[in-house]
Amino acid sequence: MKRYLIVIVVLFAVCGLVPPAASQNSVKFLRDDFNDMHNWKEMHFKKIKNHTKYDIENENGNSYLRAESHASASGIVLNKEFNVFEYPKVRWRWKISNVFNKGNAREKSGDDYPLRVYIIFKYDPSTAPFGKKMRYGIVKQFYGEYPPDSTLNYIWANRQHTDSIITNRYSAEAKMVILQEDGANAGKWIEQEVNIVDDYHKAFLEDPPLTASIAIMSDSDNTGESAVAYLDYIEIFR
């Protein structure tokens, strides 16, 4: 999460609340099979010159999002918002080439991951407590936009940890939810399904903000290492 937290909101602010496409018996807000990048905006960081490369790869009639990171950091952000109580579940299928030898979710210097999925919760000043209003108001004065209220980071951790949820070393408003650990499953397609409302309760001990979006990121700027990662699809549903 680190210093990228503030930058995310610049792209996050352009998102609009969009109703799900109507289809018979559908309970999906979104399913993206990565036939193209139409639903996503790139997210670059001012002080980081090397950007992770995101593109679409086709193989045997299937398409995938491919992220290639070489001592780099950048992400892509979904250009839609959704109501997390109406659509609390997210499912995806991912694969990585390797984990990072220097990666460690408990250290700032190791806060790199071959792949992670952010849930970015939108800040609402009308419901925020006084202390948060003051802090976020100061941030807005400097950056012109509010930062996200909070985030859940679903990570492919580089090593094993005793806890399944870890507070990010750069921000207490970012919780790292470990879904995969170490390189035991590297090179394999792994299906994941999460309930972001339930996970938010576990991580923050309160209800999440109403509105959220999603970002995908592969970063290796701290460790200086390299990895290739894939997403087959991502789905928001109930």
> pLDDT (tens digit, 9 = 90+) per residue, 29-80?
999 999 999 999 998 888 889 999 999 999 988 999 999 999 999 999 999 9
Q: Answer whether residue 137 is part of any domain.
A: no
> Cβ neighbours of residue 87 under 8 Å, at least 6 residues apart?
20, 28, 29, 236, 237, 238
Structure tokens, 124: 């609402």
CA distance 95 to 230: 5
Contact 187, 93 (CB under 8 A): no
Partners of 193 in the beta sheet? 91
Q: Is 156 helix (H, G, I), strand (E, B) or coil?
A: strand
Q: Answer whether residue 129 is part of any domain.
A: no
Confidence of residue 20 (pLDDT cuts 50, 70, 90): very low
CA distance 96 to 228: 6
Q: Answer whether residue 141 is part of any domain.
A: no
Q: Answer whether residue 143 is part of any domain.
A: no
pLDDT over threshold 60, residue 14: no
Phi, psi (5° rounding) for residue 181? -130, 140
Model confidence over 120-167: pLDDT tens digits?
999 988 888 888 888 888 888 887 788 889 999 999 999 999 999 999
Average pLDDT over residues 82-97: 98
Confidence of residue 22 (pLDDT cuts 50, 70, 90): very low
pLDDT over threshold 70, residue 5: no
Contact 155, 176 (CB under 8 A): yes
pLDDT over threshold 60, residue 7: no
pLDDT at 101: 97
pLDDT at 17: 40
Q: Answer whether residue 139 is part of any domain.
A: no
Q: Answer whether residue 218 is part of any domain.
A: yes
CA distance 229 to 219: 11
Residue of higher predicted confidence among 231 and 17 = 231
pLDDT over threshold 50, residue 24: no
Average pLDDT over residues 193-204: 98
CATH number at residue 195: 2.60.120
Q: Answer whether residue 76 is part of any domain.
A: yes
Q: Answer whether residue 134 is part of any domain.
A: no
How far from chain centre, in Å, is Cα 169? 16
Per the prediction, the chain carries an average pLDDT of: 89
pLDDT at 144: 79
CA distance 50 to 10: 19
β 174-181/150-157 pair status: parallel
Q: Which amino acid is at 157?
A: A
Contact 158, 225 (CB under 8 A): no
Confidence of residue 25 (pLDDT cuts 50, 70, 90): low
pLDDT at 140: 82
Phi, psi (5° rounding) for residue 135? -65, -45
Model confidence over 103-121: pLDDT tens digits?
999 999 999 999 999 999 9
Query: Domain count of the chain?
Result: 1
The parent domain of residue 50 ranges over 4-122+148-237
Residue of higher predicted confidence among 213 and 129 = 213
pLDDT at 106: 96
